Structure 1
Amino acid sequence: MANERQARLGDRIRVLIAERLEKGLRDPRLGFVTITDVRVTGDLQHASVFYTVLGTPEERADTAAALKAATGMLRSEVGKQLSVRLTPSLEFIPDAIPENADHIAHLLREARERDASVAGLAAGAVYAGDADPYVKPREFEDDEEA
């Protein structure tokens, strides 16, 4: 039951923060942010907010600074909207999904290229020994045995 409550609270916090960011903060450093996930601890005291930012590494760093500066205001907004006794503290963590996806795509592309090169080598390959390397039993003629 606690896991279900954690999930519901995390989903609600994700929606509230996303709506607040959609309305806009007055911080010019804030870039195009997407809240991907919120995980709440078992005691409902801490929420880890995972986000992605579209843009350059500099824009990502600026957005991280803007979110860190706005943490208190976002926590108070979340506290006003939630019906819980204690408002969980917020921690903003950059989500590594885009970087992981790019890395996996790169590895798959590299594997495809290696497979193609191996297939090219195999197409022109010939056997190192006889064409039929299997030993065949000798055939005796009836005249030799008699």
Structure 2
Amino acid sequence: MAKEFARSQRVAEQIQRELADLLQFEVKDPRVSMVTITEVEVTGDLAHAKVYYSSTENSPELQKGLEKAAGFLRSQLSQRMLMRTVPQLHFVYDASIERGMRLSRLIDDAVAEDNKSDSEEN
């Protein structure tokens, strides 16, 4: 019987929880504020972790701040997690929430326009 969750998935979930805590309470860089970790993908050999994040504002400064804090975050992860090696962190902006909000707004506008045209016909 195969395992339901691979080790890389469990490590990714733990990294996501720890990074969320570290970014909220430990990182003092003013460029890194109001960041949400949406997903973490870890390679099979646990050498690299792709960290997807979203924020109210997507700026190059935020990306630079996260990249600068990557070493600190990795060292903190090594202290919190019981692993021989901690994956290198690679930060990627996740625009899915922004796209979802835009699509929701478009749908709401289309429904409002449809309701408006129905009321004009009657």
Q: Quickly name the TM-score band, shorter chain normalised.
A: 0.7 to 0.9
Alignment of 1:1-146 (within 5 A): 1=3, 3-55=5-57, 57=58, 60-117=59-116, 119-120=118-119, 123=121
**1:2 to 1:41, Cα distance in 2 relative to 1, 3 A:** farther
CA offset digits 1:48-80 (Å, max 9, x no partner): 11112234x4xx332221111111111122123
Structure 1 consecutive aligned stretches of length 4 or more whose deviation exceeds 4 Å: none
Q: Does 1 or 2 have the higher relative contact order (CA < 8 Å, sep 6+)?
A: 2
Deviation at 1:2, TM superposition (A): 8.2
Percent identity between the aligned chains?
A: 32
* Aligned residue pair count: 120
Deviation at 1:98, TM superposition (A): 2.7
Unaligned ranges ≥5, structure 2: none
CA offset digits 1:75-131 (Å, max 9, x no partner): 12212322223321111111213311221112212321343255347x45xxxxxxx
8 A contact 2:38–2:52 mirrored in 1: yes
Indicate the structure (1 or 2) with the bigger Cα radius of gyration: 1
Alignment partner, residue 143 of structure 1:
none
**1:113 to 1:73, Cα distance in 2 relative to 1, 3 A:** same
CA distance in 2, matches of 1:3, 1:95: 24
Deviation at 1:3, TM superposition (A): 4.5
CA distance in 2, matches of 1:112, 1:26: 44
Q: TM-score, normalised by structure 2?
A: 0.80
Alignment partner, residue 129 of structure 1:
none
Unaligned ranges ≥5, structure 1: 125-146
CA distance in 2, matches of 1:49, 1:95: 9
CA distance in 2, matches of 1:2, 1:49: 22
CA distance in 1, matches of 2:116, 2:106: 15
8 A contact 2:23–2:32 mirrored in 1: no
The residue identity in structure 2 corresponding to 1:82 is: M
